Amino acid sequence: QQVEIKDVVYEEFVDLLLMIFSVPAQITDSTLLHVLALGDRFQMKQVLVQSEEYLMKTTKFSKALKLHLSDQYRLEGLKLSTCYI
């Protein structure tokens, strides 16, 4: 039986699945935002942790965006690291 998942872009969902089943997980600047949103939507704690770790290491996103994402997705480690950089 098939289950329909509404309001999800197929390619973005594939990125989420690749992150779960890839070793090591594949997060890039271009996949981070939608993987983070989907990880939150489907309550995938490990996806949120890996996304937070990626955001803490990358310099491709502004401090303002990092703070916004830390607030939106409750990423306390990111919030603390961004405030003290």
Structural domain tally of the chain? Answer: 1
27 within domain boundaries: yes
Contact 19, 49 (CB under 8 A): no
pTM: 0.84
Mind giving me the DSSP string for 23-54?
A: SS----TTTHHHHHHHHHHTT-HHHHHHHHHH
5 within domain boundaries: no
36 within domain boundaries: yes
76 within domain boundaries: yes
**Under 8 Å CB-to-CB from 18, ≥6 apart: which residues?**
26
pLDDT the model gives residue 3: 87
Instruction: Give me the domain span that covers residue 62.
Output: 10-83
**Under 8 Å CB-to-CB from 9, ≥6 apart: which residues?**
34
62 within domain boundaries: yes
CB neighbourhood size of 23 (10 A): 5
72 within domain boundaries: yes
3 within domain boundaries: no
Query: In this predicted model, what pLDDT tens digit does every residue of 62-85 receive, in sequence order?
Result: 999 999 999 999 999 999 999 876
